[in-house]
Chain A
Amino acid sequence: MLSFILRRLAIAIPTILLIITLSFVLMHAAPGGPFSAERNLPPEVLANIEQRYGLDKPLYQQIFVYVSGIVTEFDFGPSFKYKNQSVNDLIASGFPVTLVYGFWSFVCASVLGISLGVIAALKHNSWLDYAATGSAILGSVLPNFVMAPLLVLLFTVYLNWLPGGGWEGGQIQFIIMPVIALATSYLAGITRITRSSMLEVLGSNFIRSARAKGLPAHHIILRHALKPALLPVLTSLGLSFVGMITGSVVIDQYFSTGGIGQHFVNAALNRDYSVIMGVTILVGSLTILFNLLVEILYAWIDPRIRY
């Protein structure tokens, strides 16, 4: 197992380099640059700006300078759009925010989703099944950008219970709505995958024989059924986890949380090259890391899986 982990970490480096190169080429190939605006800049001003940000150099040199900045100083460069901020600043100020609401969303969505899924599977095709799946689905059918305003109308405008947005260091009242909005959008997925996978396991022979042996139901579920049933859930949770802790553009913008979720779309729309690269590398590394974690857990869940 240790050699597997080491091997995977070793592959991660060229993978990330490839991600960097591909992203660099893609974003520079896209039309428009960080400094194009309604007001076209005079050519001499544009030339100065491009020189300052090194955009006048050939692409391979830019990539080289960029990568060596990361390797030597862990410096991801200055933001092209936010003139007095570096990418490190932007991530340092935004990532803790999304990490907090993303983590809680993950906890809520996975605990609730797995429980509902297990209940639905155990009471397969009964009203309880429909109620459990139905309630999980209901939370998810509303797109984020409809859910968020409805929450604000309810909790802020009518009930006056919660502030309509902001973060203020992450006090609980500012976290609730982002968590509800984000968690519900993942809930249906987790519930339904759990349900389906649980049904499959419950129908398998070893569970049937365990039942036949008269083992108590909760014992069967917890000791025998749940673990193998979690395998596909885990894959999907691993993907969701990265998605959640890196936030959501709708939530960051709607609730003014200041998280990094908004940078994924906005930096690309602004052609803020260095920020695009920063968040891309962040997501890339997190994806690789959590995939690895998921695979280690695979082996724990199903010892027959070997790498």
Chain B
Amino acid sequence: MKIFTSLKLLFLASVLLATACPSSATVATHPSSGEKLAAQQVFTYRMGAEPPSIDPQLVEDVEGSAVARDLFEGLLTQKADGSLAPGVAERWELNPAKTIYTFHLRKNARWSNGEPVTAHDFVYAWRRAVDPKLASPYAGYLELTTLKNVSAVIRGEMPTTALGVSAIDDYTLQAELDAPLAYFPTMLVHSTTMPTPQKVIEQYGDSWSRPNHLVGNGAYVLTEHVLNERMVRVRNPLYWNNQNTILDKVIGLIIDDESQAYNRYQANELDKTEVPTGQFKRLQKERPAETFSSPRLCSYYYMFNLDKAPFDDQRVRQALSYAIDRDIITNNILGAGQIPAYTFTPGSTANFSVPEVALASMSRNDRIKTAKALLAEAGFGPSRPLKTTIFYNTSEGHKKIAIAISQMWKQRLGVQVTLQNQEWKTFLSTRGAGDFEIARGAWCGDYNEASTFLDLMRSGSDQNDMRYKNARIDQLLAEAKTLADPNPNYAQIEQIVATEAPIIPIYHYTGVMLLKPYVKGWPHQNVEANWYSREMYITEH
């Protein structure tokens, strides 16, 4: 029985290979670079976890987004450097009031069942994303776009048809916003806004995203999905740009443990994996051509609970921030090119330049001296040491950083720190309820614009666990939405945050990976790590 199934699989595999070969045989060299291409265009990569969903409107994690980007195509996509590229929309216009976007869709886009992709598919998908019945965790994403009536629809006060999106005709889509939003097109790369096939979803219900049901409009179709084991997608011959797609097959293997993934990379079972924590320096020496580190749109920080004394005192917060050596953390603990952070928004964010804050340029001695003075001013010293607890969720990395920081505070300022790790959900509940003094936090941008970070500093933001309130910041943020160049506003906000220190920025993330030298076309410069399999190819090796 078992032998029989494996034989069957073998047979299937050979059939697949046979059908895949002609297409790659015709492109023996890469059309633009002229590199010799491998006969087998198969890319195998590690997925860190089984994605909660690959349904575009329900996708909530990185792995799911990567799959969705291959199986579906939104209005806009990204080039390797992260700049916008046409997807299903060939071009768009904006009305003078800057509130109505009109997208003109390409006429040759088709679903993998042969039907044309029309503006109605987008209308359906966007309405679906905010439909209370679907209850997508990412419905909030569309709220950020300020599409007309979006909040009322989510709250169930208006029907989904009231959402500010409509199909003028089959190939013209109109989106109406409540207020101008300069970065609206940028936000349309996200999978939440990708089209989905109404008929298929209505036919199969929740199981529509299974391999034999799923119909997409992307460059690949899903052929196999074994829960917690693997996901396989092969090229979609009906994709409008199929002739320029080189990679035939993409296999995602779900491997939870990063060092196990590295083992399998070494055994050539994987073409791409993440560098295991703490091994970057060594691997960079051993495999310089395969080790990559590139900035990501993510920040790691510690937050204060401003409702709790003495952390309502700006001097205490500043002192603690000043006493942390970010470079020790980035160089010695993380050691994979992470960037020491003195401001919240990463410097890699599009059109954003990191403002100069005082802390960043001070010498270590000056910083420690200032910190001591500030703490003394606030009334803490050897006779009355500051006592506090750092909360973090259990993880090797968070633990190391918390230990290092607690030792820095202890040795330099005489602060008595208790470390308190908690299991993830307990931690979230503790932090959300404000039962903490200092807690770890991390934030990744939803889209490539500084507001996705700075909005956390807004009074009453859902993410503002610091309970930080500053009317000036609220005002600057509101203004920035409509400004042609919002950067001066952002810089001002960063300055206020640096002074008032509701958070201690610690570092900006990098993505660290191992990639076999024969895998080409990976968008290393894309800070959101939005990679598309159709852009990649395997050279002869």
Contact = CB atoms under 8 A, between A and B. Distances in A.
Interface string B266-277: 110100000000
Given A36-B428, A94-B228, A253-B256, A42 B143 contact: yes
Contact of B229 (A30, A53, A149, A256): A256
Given A90-B227, A93-B227, A149-B260, A84 B135 contact: no
A254 B55 contact: no
A49 B135 contact: yes
B5 A169 contact: yes
A164 interface: yes
A256 B210 CA distance: 20
Secondary structure dominating the interface of B: mixed
A254 B5 CA distance: 25
Contact of A163 (B136, B229, B269): B269
Given A163-B269, A269-B424, A269-B425, A257 B259 contact: no
Interface in B1-15: 2, 5-6, 9
B139 interface: yes
A51 interface: yes
A152 B265 CA distance: 12
Contacts of A42: 139-140, 143, 154, 462
A149 B263 contact: yes
A114 B389 CA distance: 52
B426 interface: yes
B254 interface: yes
A84 B209 contact: yes
Interface in A12-69: 30-33, 35-45, 47-49, 51-53
Interface in A54-110: 78, 81-86, 89-90, 93-94
Contacts of A171: 2, 6
Nearest to A253: B256
A3 B364 CA distance: 80
Given A42-B140, A48-B132, A149-B260, A84 B429 contact: no
A53 B134 CA distance: 10
B135 A156 contact: no
Contact of B425 (A31, A43, A85, A90): A31
A5 interface: no
Interface in B370-405: none
A111 to B, nearest CB: 21
Nearest to B429: A31
Interface string A221-262: 000000000000000000000000000000011111111001
B260 A82 contact: no
B253 interface: yes
A94 B227 contact: yes
B227 A85 contact: yes
Interface residues of B, number: 61
Interface in A246-298: 252-259, 262, 269-271
A258 B227 CA distance: 6
Number of chain A interface residues as a range: 35 or more
B31 interface: no
A47 B442 CA distance: 24
A143 interface: no
B151 interface: yes
B267 A157 contact: yes
Contact of A164 (B136, B256, B263, B427): B263
B137 A35 contact: yes
Nearest to A92: B227
A169 B353 CA distance: 52
Contacts of A78: 206
A180 B136 CA distance: 42
A38 B428 contact: yes
A170 interface: yes
Nearest to B214: A84
Contacts of A51: 132, 135
A37 B431 CA distance: 11
A215 interface: no
A134 to B, nearest CB: 29
Nearest to B432: A40
A165 B266 CA distance: 13
B264 interface: yes
Nearest to B54: A84
A83 B52 contact: yes
A171 B263 CA distance: 21
Task: Name the residue among A33, A35, A45, A271 with the largest chain B CB count within 10 angstroms.
Answer: A45
B462 A166 contact: no
Contacts of A48: 132, 135, 139, 154, 156
B230 interface: yes
Given A84-B207, A167-B229, A45 B140 contact: yes
Contact of A152 (B54, B209, B263, B425): B263
B260 A52 contact: no
B161 interface: no
A271 B425 contact: yes
A44 B428 contact: no
A166 B253 contact: yes
A31 B264 contact: no
A83 B429 contact: no
A258 B429 contact: no
B423 interface: yes
A154 to B, nearest CB: 11
Nearest to A40: B462
A82 to B, nearest CB: 6
B319 to A, nearest CB: 27
A170 B432 contact: no
B30 interface: no
B52 A256 contact: no
B107 interface: no
Contacts of B52: 81-83
A149 B259 contact: yes
A54 to B, nearest CB: 11
Nearest to B8: A169
Contacts of B254: 256, 258
B270 to A, nearest CB: 9
A186 B137 CA distance: 42
Contacts of B260: 148-149, 152, 164-165, 254-255
Interface string B464-475: 010000000000
B78 to A, nearest CB: 22
Contact of B426 (A30, A84, A167): A30
11 contacts: A31-B425, A40-B463, A44-B155, A45-B135, A45-B140, A82-B50, A149-B259, A152-B264, A156-B264, A160-B267, A166-B229
Given A36-B428, A258-B226, 8 more contacts: A38-B428, A42-B143, A48-B156, A93-B228, A156-B264, A156-B267, A166-B253, A271-B425
Interface of A: 30-33, 35-45, 47-49, 51-53, 78, 81-86, 89-90, 93-94, 148-149, 152-153, 156-157, 160, 163-172, 252-259, 262, 269-271
Q: Which 7 A-B residue pairs are closest in the complex by CB-CB distance?
A: A32-B425, A258-B229, A31-B429, A83-B53, A253-B256, A52-B135, A164-B264
